[in-house]
């Protein structure tokens, strides 16, 4: 079985946010950015079918979103999936920032970057609330593991 957990491409959450901002900045309009975000979602590691259940579901999302986390060597790794293409992309974006980081780094990285990148304004209110719920869930898990 392929490891479903996202391994970070960048050394820190801040570096990941900077890289995403730079990549989004390459596109002139939101249609192109959406396409890029959807493609990010298509590159997520395969999410195990047995995890696509209520126990793994993130509440507050219009589309169905599932997440799982595991602690490895002091870092939290996340796996995620959604039944909607654009939402899978947002999951991928979030996990690129947060997966593979220490609980302290996750808690120190405010999800305000979603607003700074213009993602919340560009999304429908429901999708914006959904990504905010995902970010909250990631931070809840981190706070449980920081002891």
**C-alpha distances in angstroms, 138 versus 25, 36, 132?**
26, 23, 10
Whether 61 is catalytic: yes
Alpha helices in 30-124 (DSSP H): 30-42, 85-98, 103-108, 113-116, 119-122
DSSP state of 82: E
Q: Which one is catalytic: 13, 16, 44, 61?
A: 61
Instruction: List, by residue number, the catalytic residues.
Output: 61
């Amino acid at each position: 079985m392929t490891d479903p957990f996202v391994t970070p491409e960048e050394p820190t959450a801040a570096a990941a946010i900077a890289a995403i901002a730079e990549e989004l900045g390459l596109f002139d309009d939101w249609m192109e950015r959406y396409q890029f975000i959807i493609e990010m979602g298509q590159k997520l590691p395969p999410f195990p079918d047995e995890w696509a259940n209520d126990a793994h579901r993130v509440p507050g999302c219009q589309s169905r979103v599932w997440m799982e986390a595991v602690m490895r060597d002091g870092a939290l790794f996340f796996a995620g999936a959604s039944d909607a293409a654009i939402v899978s992309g947002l999951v991928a974006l979030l996990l690129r920032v947060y997966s593979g980081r220490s609980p302290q780094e996750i808690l120190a990285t405010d999800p305000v970057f979603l607003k700074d990148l213009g993602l919340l304004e560009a999304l429908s209110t429901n999708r914006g609330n959904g990504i905010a719920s995902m970010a909250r869930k990631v931070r809840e898990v981190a706070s449980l593991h920081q002891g």
